[in-house]
A and B are shown apart, each in its own frame.
Chain A
Amino acid sequence: MSWISKTFSSSIGRKIIMAATGLFLCSFLVVHLAGNFQLFKNDGGLAFNAYSEFMSHNTVIRILEIGLVLGFGFHIYEGLTLTAKNRSARGVGYVSDHIEQNSPWHARSMAMLGSIVLFFLIVHLYNFFGTLRFGEPVKDSMGNENAYGLVVDAFRNPLYVALYVVAQAALLYHLLHGFQSAFQTLGLTHRKYTPLIKFVGVVFSLVVCAGFAAMPIYFYFFK
């Protein structure tokens, strides 16, 4: 085994993969949220459809998409396998375990919260990505695929609205631990900057998740 594969198959190496891909996926959330804010534009979805058309047909974006898939893939794979490894490291469990007295609930529940987000991701890809990429496209008045129409349709269903909002709550708690934890794992701690990183992490998590959750709620009640 070469030193590179040895590094990234060690326990710390695998944590570093989790942290690096986690922060990369945070950057994806920013781009996705910024683009999606066009859903709130009162133009019947023309701007959003043009943006969606660009994102799904531009060559550079399509190449970057491979990176995104790899980012998700590594994060999910390492997350699931590390969780299994960590669980088995305990062996016989405690009869009485009061771990809730020494650590926060959401930090201990990253695998469960991540699994909720993963389930959401699959449904979400099916709802929009799958239909746009592989389904029969309906065009809007500008000749772009009518992604906006899919959004309106999906969020007429209260089950989807509920799933999307619950998934954002799970993502919120996942990020509340994950954002600052990634910096700790990468060794990026400092007396001056760590408090700032923790504060930015909380603001980031709240803004991103509230922003995404606002979309199904807005469409269900106001569209």
Chain B
Amino acid sequence: MAGSNPNAKPMNLTLKVWRQKNRATAGQVVDYNVRDISPDMSFLEMLDVLNEDLLRKGDDPVAFDHDCREGICGSCNLFINGRAHGPESGTTTCQLHMRKFSDGDTIVIEPWRANSFPVNKDLSVDRSAFDRIIQAGGYVSVNTGGAPDGNEIPVPKEIADRAFEAATCIGCGACVAACKNASAMLFVSAKVSQLALLPQGHAERATRVENMVAQMDKEGFGACTNIGSCAAECPVGISLENIATLNREFLAAKASSNNLS
């Protein structure tokens, strides 16, 4: 491996992995041993080693989601030793390195747990509830035609920065996984705040928050109790302030929109 540390001692680990055939069957924790794990490996590379072992033995490899492996796609969602994305804060599972663990450690690996995120197989969950919430209003409708001039709509730097901070949400679902109520409010609030801050988002401001919250409730996520687990586990540092903004936007929309139903 390029850039690996020649002094790093390989580790032997015990893994307790959630195995579940499909949505319909019940799952269970299965123990595995992995040997000669380099501390420079990412957590996902360690799981690749496990899966290659399993394949060699003719066993079913452990299913887990991953895509970019550089911390921006939000696919690699594992609940590791009781924490969303593992013990390191501000990081996704793919950016968690094995040097954060010690030789001989036992690591418990589970999928995100929420009724709204059903387990597909093993550690892979279905997060399409998030897609449906975004489809309900997490967008800006733009008429077709010539591209407008970039400077035509002025956005002050401070506002642009705040909108961008909210826009960094990668939709990984760690907020739901970490929350004791399996609440999706940090996710929803990031998108609502981002679009409410920008002039392009104003046209659909009221209907957006009404529809997104309605869809969030329909999906069966819990309600926020402001304990802060979500923001603490968020790999991109979305702050709780966004949830206050969401509540304010929701109340303002309900009080002022023309929607009577």
Among A1, A91, A97, A188, contact of B114 (Cβ-Cβ < 8 Å): A91
Judging by beta carbons under 8 Å apart, are B251 and A96 in contact? no
Which 4 residue pairs of A and B lie closest in terms of their CB atoms, listed nearest first? Answer: A187-B248, A98-B82, A89-B222, A86-B181
Judging by beta carbons under 8 Å apart, are A95 and B110 in contact? yes
Q: 8 Å CB contacts to B: which residues of A84-99?
A: 85-99
Chain B interface, number of residues (Cβ within 8 angstroms): 51
The answer, yes or no, to whether B18 is at the interface (CB within 8 Å) is yes
Judging by beta carbons under 8 Å apart, are B244 and A93 in contact? no
User: What's the Cα separation between A184 and B225 when bound, in Å?
Assistant: 10
Residues of A close to B260: CB separation below 8 A: 2-3
The answer, yes or no, to whether A217 is at the interface (CB within 8 Å) is no
Judging by beta carbons under 8 Å apart, are B223 and A93 in contact? no
Pick the most buried of B16, B221, B244: most chain A CB atoms within 10 A of its CB: B244
Chain A interface, number of residues (Cβ within 8 angstroms): 43
The answer, yes or no, to whether B116 is at the interface (CB within 8 Å) is yes
User: A3-B260, A10-B213 given. 9 additional CB < 8 A pairs?
Assistant: A12-B247, A86-B182, A86-B183, A89-B116, A94-B113, A96-B108, A103-B180, A187-B248, A187-B249
Judging by beta carbons under 8 Å apart, are A15 and B223 in contact? yes
User: What's the Cα separation between A6 and B214 when bound, in Å?
Assistant: 10
Residues of A close to B81: CB separation below 8 A: 96, 98
Using CB atoms, name the residue of chain A closest to B116: A89
Residues of A close to B241: CB separation below 8 A: 189
Interface class of chain A by DSSP: helix
Q: State how many angstroms separate the Cβ of B186 from the closest Cβ of chain A.
A: 12
Q: State how many angstroms separate the Cβ of B51 from the closest Cβ of chain A.
A: 21
Q: 8 Å CB contacts to B: which residues of A166-191?
A: 177, 181, 184-189
The answer, yes or no, to whether B155 is at the interface (CB within 8 Å) is no
- From B42-50, B66-74, B96-104, B227-235, the one touching the partner chain is B227-235
Judging by beta carbons under 8 Å apart, are B113 and A90 in contact? yes
Judging by beta carbons under 8 Å apart, are A12 and B246 in contact? yes
Given the known A-B contacts A89-B114, A90-B115, are A16 and B82 also in contact in the complex, defined by CB atoms under 8 Å? Answer: no
Query: Which A residues fall within an 8 A CB radius of B?
Result: 1-3, 6-7, 10-16, 82, 85-99, 101-104, 107-108, 110, 177, 181, 184-189
Query: Can you give 7 A-B contacts (C-beta < 8 A)?
Result: A10-B213, A86-B225, A90-B115, A103-B180, A184-B244, A186-B248, A187-B246
Judging by beta carbons under 8 Å apart, are B245 and A82 in contact? no
User: What's the Cα separation between A87 and B221 when bound, in Å?
Assistant: 10
Residues of A close to B181: CB separation below 8 A: 86-87, 89-90
Residues of A close to B11: CB separation below 8 A: none
Residues of A close to B115: CB separation below 8 A: 88-91
Using CB atoms, name the residue of chain B closest to A98: B82
Residues of A close to B217: CB separation below 8 A: 10-11
Residues of A close to B216: CB separation below 8 A: 11
User: What's the Cα separation between A170 and B225 when bound, in Å?
Assistant: 17
Q: State how many angstroms separate the Cβ of A74 from the closest Cβ of chain B.
A: 15
Using CB atoms, name the residue of chain B closest to A7: B254
